[in-house]
Amino acid sequence: MLHKLKCSFRGLMLFTVICFGISATKCRNNGILDTLENPGGGFTPCSECIIFVATNGNLGYNGNLGGVAGADAICQAEGNAYGKGVYRALLVDGSVRRACENGSCSTAKNWVLQANRAYKRPDGTAIGTTDASRVFGNLAAAIAPSGTIASAWTGLMPTAWTVSSSTCSGWTTSETGSSGDYGQISVTGNSAFAYGGNVCSAALGVYCVQQ
């Protein structure tokens, strides 16, 4: 009984930390607390998973996302529209989250894509299937059609899915003097995830991946 209480308290504290700094209207449980309090139960990984773009009602988000944890909380809040599930941000900072480094993806850390997994838009359009390294080649369809928000923060370099030096200080600053790398939302090539950099005060989207 004591162990269960400790786990519940720890899960609640983690959920509180994730939500810190995000308005109450955006931070919803959406099943994440159940997952924290019941590890190994109540959460079934998706088999054909959703990827969507968090846009803050087409207003976008500046580079101060509250770190990787804050970006995950944004995805969880906006993912509520697509039903129960766990959603995390497809971006990297090199320390909390990375996909590949030094030409190898074997050192992925806290990465959000799964190996050989099919991904789709919320409307069911197939986006593509990852390879054994848990990354995409060319996509079958863009992550989202052209819209008000044309780009999404990723922090990825144009080659090999490695973290760039431009991540808005680990997604913690919106200063004009800092920059963050981004991908283009409506394309199917590598530039969907790594196209260029923008000032951290810019308003971009965030790619969100169902787990």
In a domain, 144, yes or no: yes
Residue 7 has pLDDT above 60, yes or no: no
What CATH number is given to the structural domain containing 141? 3.10.100.10
103: Cα within 13 Å, side-chain hemisphere: 0
Q: What is the pLDDT of residue 34?
A: 42
Residue 60's domain spans which residues? Answer: 45-210
Domains identified in the chain, total number: 1
Q: Is the pLDDT of residue 158 over 90?
A: no
Cβ contacts of 71 within 8 Å, gap of 6 or more: 65, 89, 91, 153, 171, 206
Higher-confidence residue of 133 and 18: namely 133
Say if CB 46 and CB 85 are below 8 A apart.
yes
Domain assignment of residue 121, yes or no: yes
Q: What is the pLDDT of residues 41-73, one digit of tens each?
A: 456 889 889 999 999 999 999 999 999 999 999
116 band by pLDDT with thresholds 50, 70 and 90: very high
Question: What is the average pLDDT score of the chain?
Answer: 83
Do the domain assignments include residue 189?
yes
201 in a structural domain: yes
CB 115 within 8 A of CB 131: yes
Does 122 map to a domain? yes
Domain for residue 176, yes or no? yes
Q: Quick check: 103 pLDDT over 80?
A: no
Q: Phi, psi (5° rounding) for residue 34?
A: -60, -40
Residue 18 domain-assigned (yes or no): no
pTM: 0.79
19 in a domain, yes or no? no
35 to each of 11, 32, 45, 135, 178, how far by Cα in Å?
A: 9, 5, 11, 25, 36
Judged by average pLDDT, the poorest of 3-17, 104-118, 121-135 is: 3-17
